[in-house]
């Protein structure tokens, strides 16, 4: 199957309600799902997400050379996904289009920084709060968090089709 074009990816996002400049916030929707992976969104996870959001909005505006995103609008959108878990169709669409929308449109060094930023923030989110204490040596991250982290990593590295469809 040929790679998805930017135009086709934007059309797919539009069909699930992500339009206009919101397309540049899809990374954050994946991070919201990471926060939800253990079943609930804790305050520390919100703080990490909002810190990433602020950096992300500034980086997009800097890259565009003009103001294409507003912090207030981005925060409102992301709050909606922190308050109500993103749906399966939305997540599957974002997983399918994140590479053509967010990585293929920038140079290789910026794409690598974007990938590392997303993955590092996933780790920060997963490690910021645990759902039960005490936890065992390998239970700091839940199995669901580990699974979702590896899913995102595979997608960003172009191996997303090696993962089975999501269950949630």
- Give me the tens of pLDDT residue by residue for the chain, a chain 168 residues long: 678 899 999 999 999 999 999 999 999 999 999 999 989 999 999 999 999 999 999 999 998 899 999 999 999 999 999 999 999 999 999 999 999 999 988 889 988 999 999 999 999 999 887 655 555 555 568 888 899 999 999 999 885 554 455 554
Q: Which two tokens stand for residue 158?
A: 């172009």
Confirm whether 29 is domain-assigned: yes
Confirm whether 165 is domain-assigned: no
- Residue 41's domain comprises 6-160
Confirm whether 166 is domain-assigned: no
pTM summary value: 0.87
Confirm whether 1 is domain-assigned: no
Q: What is the pLDDT of residues 99-147, one digit of tens each?
A: 999 998 888 998 899 999 999 999 999 988 765 555 555 556 888 889 9
CB 110 within 8 A of CB 118: no
Q: Which two tokens stand for residue 136?
A: 């065992």
Give the number of domains in the chain: 1
Confirm whether 167 is domain-assigned: no
> CA dihedral defined by 109, 115, 121, 126, rounded to 10 degrees?
-150
Which residue from 123, 119, 124, 127 is spatially nearest to 155, judged by alpha carbons?
119
């Amino acid at each position: 199957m040929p790679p998805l074009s930017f135009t086709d990816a934007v059309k797919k996002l539009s069909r699930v309600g992500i339009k206009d400049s919101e397309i540049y916030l899809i990374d954050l929707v994946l991070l919201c799902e990471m926060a939800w992976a253990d079943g609930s969104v804790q305050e520390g996870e919100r703080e990490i997400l909002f810190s990433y959001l602020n950096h992300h909005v500034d980086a997009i505006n800097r890259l565009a050379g003009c103001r294409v995103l507003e912090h207030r609008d981005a925060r409102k959108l992301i709050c909606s996904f922190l308050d109500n878990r993103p749906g399966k169709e939305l997540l599957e669409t974002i997983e399918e289009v994140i590479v053509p929308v967010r990585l293929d449109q920038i140079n290789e060094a910026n794409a690598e920084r974007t990938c590392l930023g997303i993955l590092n923030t996933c780790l920060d989110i997963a490690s910021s709060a645990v759902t039960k204490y005490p936890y065992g040596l390998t239970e700091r991250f839940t199995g669901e968090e580990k699974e979702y982290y590896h899913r995102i990593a595979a997608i960003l590295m172009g191996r997303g089709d090696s993962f089975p469809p999501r269950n949630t």
